[in-house]
Amino acid sequence: MQNKTVSARPAEVERRWFIVSARGRTLGRLAAEVAAVLRGKHKPTYTPHVDCGDHVIVLDAERVRLTGSKRETKMRYWHTGYPGHLRARSYGELLEREPEEVIRRAVGGMLPHNPLGRQMLKKLKVYAGSEHPHEAQMPEPLPEQ
């Protein structure tokens, strides 16, 4: 008798809520852990083509750590749509203005770049401070990887 591979079905997925503090954590390492939980890779029922991941709340985004000289040299570029209007901002400036976006972009880059990845990214909640409005979901601390 052969064992059959069991694929997760979207209706059968149980979602939990996890909470993690970014205080003093390196950006890339934190993003890798969070992306794995959003994808569901920590579950034995992980299925690549199904969103079987959990919700993650990241607190203290403004206190995340960038190693080396990334604060000054790493840049975020965007184009306004007008000729010659390529804009740039350093990650140090981004951390001051919108720290949530720094973590959201780092995690988003580690998820699939398709509709499934966008759906997974919606389960990420990032807050600059240590307060969040998700007490009703009873989030648990993120288990160490």
pLDDT, tens digit, for every residue of 67-111? 999 999 999 999 999 999 999 999 999 999 999 999 999 999 999
Listed in order, strand segments (DSSP E) in the chain are 17-21, 55-59, 75-79, 86-90, 124-126, 140-141
State the residue for tokens 């591979």.
Answer: 5
Q: What are the phi and psi torsion angles at 61 (to 5°)?
A: -60, -30
State the residue for tokens 């607190």.
Answer: 59
Cα(115)–Cα(5) distance, rounded to whole angstroms? Answer: 25
- Span 60-66, average pLDDT: 96
Domain 15-66+96-141 classification at class level:
alpha beta
Give the domain ranges of the chain: 15-66+96-141
* Contact assessment for residue 34 and residue 56, using Cβ atoms and an 8 Å cutoff: yes
